Amino acid sequence: MPHLEDGTLHALLDGEIPSEELPPIEAHLAACAECRARLEAERAIRGEADGLVEAIEAPAPGVARATVGARTAPAKRPRRWLREVAWAASVVLAAGLGYASRGVRPPAPASQVTARQVAARQVAAGQVAAGRDGSLPTHPDSGVTAPLAAAAEAAKQPVNASPAPANRTEVRRESRLGKEAPVRRPAEAKKALADAIDSLPRSKGGFAVPTERLTLNAAADRATVVKLRSAETPAPAAPAGQAAGGIAQLRPRRLDTTSQLHLEEIVVTGVPANAAKVSAPVVAPAAITFPDAIARLGGTIRLIEGLVPLRVEALGDRVRVIYPLAPGELVLEQWRSAAGVTWKISAPAGFPADSVERLTARVRE
Partner 1 sequence: MTGMLADLFAQYHGSLVRMLYRRTGDPDRAEDIAQEVFARAVAAPPRNPRPWLFAVALNLVREDGRKSVRQGRRLVLYRAEQAEAAAGADEELDRGERIALVRAALDMLSERDREALLLKAEGFNYDDIAATLGLARGAIGTTLCRARRRLVEAYRAGKDKQHAAS
Within residues 10-29, the interface with partner 1 by CB under 8 A covers: 10-11, 14, 16
DSSP state of 14: T
DSSP characters over 182-239? ---SHHHHHHHHHHHHHTS---SSS----SEEEEEETTTTEEEEEE-B-TTSPPPPPP
- Nearest-approach distance from CB 202 to partner 1, in angstroms: 10
Q: Which of 25, 32, 62, 279 binds partner 1 (CB under 8 A)?
A: 62
Element (H, E) at 292: helix 290-296
Site string for partner 1, 229-248 (x = CB under 8 A): xxxxx---------------
Cis amide bond preceding 210, omega within 30: no
Site string for partner 1, 69-88 (x = CB under 8 A): xxx--x--xxxxxx--xx-x
Q: Which of 37, 181, 261, 287 binds partner 1 (CB under 8 A)?
A: 261
Is 34 one of the binding residues for partner 1 (CB under 8 A)? no
Is 8 one of the binding residues for partner 1 (CB under 8 A)? yes
260 CB-near residues (< 8 Å, 6+ apart): none
Residues 89-108 that bind partner 1 (CB under 8 A): 94, 98-102
Cβ proximity to partner 1, 59 vs 241, nearer residue = 59
Is 151 one of the binding residues for partner 1 (CB under 8 A)? yes
Is 176 one of the binding residues for partner 1 (CB under 8 A)? yes
In terms of phi and psi (left: phi > 0; alpha: psi -120 to 50; beta: otherwise), the region of 143 is: left
Q: What is the Cα–Cα distance from 131 to 123, expressed in whole angstroms?
A: 10
Q: What is the CA radius of gyration of the chain?
A: 26
Residues 335-364 that bind partner 1 (CB under 8 A): none
Binding-site residue total for partner 1 (CB under 8 A)?
92
Cβ proximity to partner 1, 86 vs 287, nearer residue = 86
- Among the residue ranges 20-28, 162-170, 269-277, 345-353, the one whose residues contact partner 1 (CB under 8 A): 162-170
Q: What is the Cα–Cα distance from 224 to 216, expressed in whole angstroms?
A: 6
* Phi and psi, residue 99, nearest 5°: -75, -15
- Nearest-approach distance from CB 70 to partner 1, in angstroms: 5
- Nearest-approach distance from CB 93 to partner 1, in angstroms: 10
Q: What is the Cα–Cα distance from 92 to 225, expressed in whole angstroms?
A: 8
Is 40 one of the binding residues for partner 1 (CB under 8 A)? no
Task: Choose among 53, 51, 74, 86: nearest CA to 251.
Answer: 86
Q: What is the Cα–Cα distance from 50 to 222, expressed in whole angstroms?
A: 46
Cβ proximity to partner 1, 42 vs 292, nearer residue = 42
Q: Which of 160, 203, 300, 337 binds partner 1 (CB under 8 A)?
A: 203
Is 274 one of the binding residues for partner 1 (CB under 8 A)? no
Q: Which of 263, 275, 319, 325 binds partner 1 (CB under 8 A)?
A: 263
Q: Which of 25, 29, 32, 68 binds partner 1 (CB under 8 A)?
A: 68
Give 125: exposed, middle or buried? Use CB within 10 Å, 0-12, 13-18, 19+: middle
Is 159 one of the binding residues for partner 1 (CB under 8 A)? no
- Among the residue ranges 208-216, 241-249, 284-292, 326-334, the one whose residues contact partner 1 (CB under 8 A): 208-216
